[in-house]
Amino acid sequence: MDRDGIKKTALFGYHGMNFYPEENQQDIEIIEFSRANPDRILPFICDFDFYDEKAPEYVEQLAEDGGVYGVGEVLFGHTPMRRQVFTQKQIDDDRPIEVFKAAGRCGLPVLIHADRAFRPELENAIRCCPDTNFIWAHIAYDFMAEYGGAASEISYIKKLVNDFSNVYFDISHWKISPIYLCSEDWQHLLEDSFDRFIFGMDMSEDYMLEGLWFSTYKAVLSGLSCKAQQSILAGNFMRLICLPM
């Protein structure tokens, strides 16, 4: 973060990956780490069973006591995770919807992943939760295209921007360069709807790998107005989690 000039970042564990025998341990450790670094780390929670009848209460309790800023990244719509641990579980099932609504009541945004095949489920969940703000993760990036990644079609993203006022769009990538976001169509969309996009980097396993793309993101944003750059880099996200810049 110091190297790249990042002042604050959201941090969360892996939804559905039981790395610890203790329940909710990823959430616990991230909250503890954020308390040790309160000016730098903004904790999100996702290390719990969204199908547990007490899951909405868990969200509400941590929102009140834990100083958390969001829920996610939710991985019901992540194809490999769906195969491994979320078989027969959908984004728009009744219990996750209750969790998403609880997050909305607490003013917490929900960061959620949806590969192409699961987009209808997420759209339905969003319609069911009009009072919840969602962040659609990696919106410009088709994670599952030959499992190497490819650009998402911009026409679909434009439709989502127009259809849903309670959805924001994370432009993080994983395996391919985001340089195509410098294209004329993308630059127009980012400029015209700058209040709906959020800068992020899909960091996992190796920070240095993600660091390869950081200068590319700077190039993507450099063509935008100062207001658009500031909004995408920090302003939109900080507004969503109700913190001042």
Q: Would you state the pLDDT for residue 206?
A: 65
The residue-averaged pLDDT of 197-223 equals 82
Q: For residues 37 and 78, what is the distance between their CA atoms, to the nearest angstrom? A: 30
- Asked whether residue 229 is domain-assigned, the answer is yes
Q: Would you state the pLDDT for residue 219?
A: 93
> Within 10 Å of residue 108's Cβ, how many Cβ atoms?
26
Q: For residues 193 and 219, what is the distance between their CA atoms, to the nearest angstrom? A: 18
- Asked whether residue 76 is domain-assigned, the answer is yes
Domain containing residue 192: CATH number:
3.20.20.140
- Asked whether residue 4 is domain-assigned, the answer is no
- Asked whether residue 104 is domain-assigned, the answer is yes
Q: Would you state the pLDDT for residue 224?
A: 98
150-202 pLDDT, tens digit each:
889 999 999 999 999 999 999 998 778 899 999 999 999 999 999 999 998 88
- DSSP, collapsed to helix, strand or coil, labels residue 31 as helix
Q: For residues 14 and 27, what is the distance between their CA atoms, to the nearest angstrom? A: 10
Q: Would you state the pLDDT for residue 238?
A: 96
- Asked whether residue 181 is domain-assigned, the answer is yes
35-50 pLDDT, tens digit each:
999 999 999 999 999 9
- Top-confidence residue, 99 or 203: 99
Percent of the chain with pLDDT over 90: 79
What residues make up the domain containing 164?
Answer: 9-240
- Asked whether residue 2 is domain-assigned, the answer is no
127-152 pLDDT, tens digit each:
999 999 999 999 998 887 766 678 89
The residue-averaged pLDDT of 216-236 equals 96
Task: Give the DSSP H or E segment for 36.
Answer: helix 25-36
Total number of domains constituting the chain: 1
Task: Specify the length of the chain in residues.
Answer: 245
Q: For residues 218 and 222, what is the distance between their CA atoms, to the nearest angstrom? A: 6
Report how many helices (DSSP H) and strands (DSSP E) the chain contains, helices first. 10, 9
Q: Would you state the pLDDT for residue 4?
A: 83
- Asked whether residue 30 is domain-assigned, the answer is yes
- Asked whether residue 3 is domain-assigned, the answer is no
Q: Would you state the pLDDT for residue 89?
A: 95
- Asked if residue 142 lies in contact with residue 152, where contact means CB atoms within 8 angstroms, the answer is yes
